[in-house]
Chains A and B, each alone.
Chain A
Amino acid sequence: DSGVTQTPKHLITATGQRVTLRCSPRSGDLSVYWYQQSLDQGLQFLIHYYNGEERAKGNILERFSAQQFPDLHSELNLSSLELGDSALYFCASSGPAVSTNSPLHFGNGTRLTVT
């Protein structure tokens, strides 16, 4: 058990809808990272938050947004969903330093299916 909790495990929704994925980092970790894994693709970096502030952005679409709250949990909001957004979304945490050299601890992922 990595100590990172992601909810929900599975999500099925229709095109055009909006969903929110939630992540609670491991106790003591201040960094939260979001990754997307589409079919036959590797882990694509979306965004990194550290102690409530955005630190780095990857290939995150404008329809997607994220935030990290004072209690350090993070939410990834996906809107105007398209079929191609169907993927496994992972959250990972690390810390407490922002520049890590320490490993990422992954949650079990949220499987999003857009129909």
Chain B
Amino acid sequence: ILNVEQSPQSLHVQEGDSTNFTCSFPSSNFYALHWYRWETAKSPEALFVMTLNGDEKKKGQISATLNTKEGYSYLYIKGSQPEDSATYLCAFESFNKFYFGSGTKLNVKP
């Protein structure tokens, strides 16, 4: 069983704050690193899929970076809005399997 760890477990910020969280994963047998956004009572939705060391992806005010050599990825949200409140999951893809972290639960207060 592979360990994919996310920190922090939860985060409470004010509207307009910028925030970031971490995903740590094994540095061997790497295929891809995925980020998903999971709103309450919905299903997870894909944000990014990153495959190359040094990859940076951006979608609106959300961006992510990848370091496969040291086994971590950062997700950044610039100027958080209440609608950004969700659980953010990362998943390590290897040999046709996806290993999910437990997620970072973000709460953005208006």
Contact = CB atoms under 8 A, between A and B. Distances in A.
Contacts of A48: 96-97
A24 B23 CA distance: 30
Given A90-B43, A105-B46, A108-B43, A43 B100 contact: yes
Interface residues on B, range: 20 to 34
Contacts of A4: 43
Contacts of A41: 102
A102 B49 contact: yes
Contact of B96 (A98, A103, A108): A98
Q: Is the interface of A mostly helix, strand, loop or mixed?
A: loop
Contacts of B46: 103-105
Contact of A45 (B44, B51, B99, B102): B99
Interface string B25-48: 000000110101000001111100
Interface residues of A, number: 27
Contacts of A33: 98
Contacts, number: 61
Nearest to A107: B43
Given A100-B93, A101-B49, A101-B93, A106 B99 contact: no
A107 B45 CA distance: 10
B42 A101 contact: no
Contacts of A83: none
Interface of B: 1, 31-32, 34, 36, 42-46, 49, 51, 89, 91, 93, 95-103
Interface of A: 2, 4, 33, 35, 41-43, 45, 48, 50, 55-56, 58-59, 90, 98-109
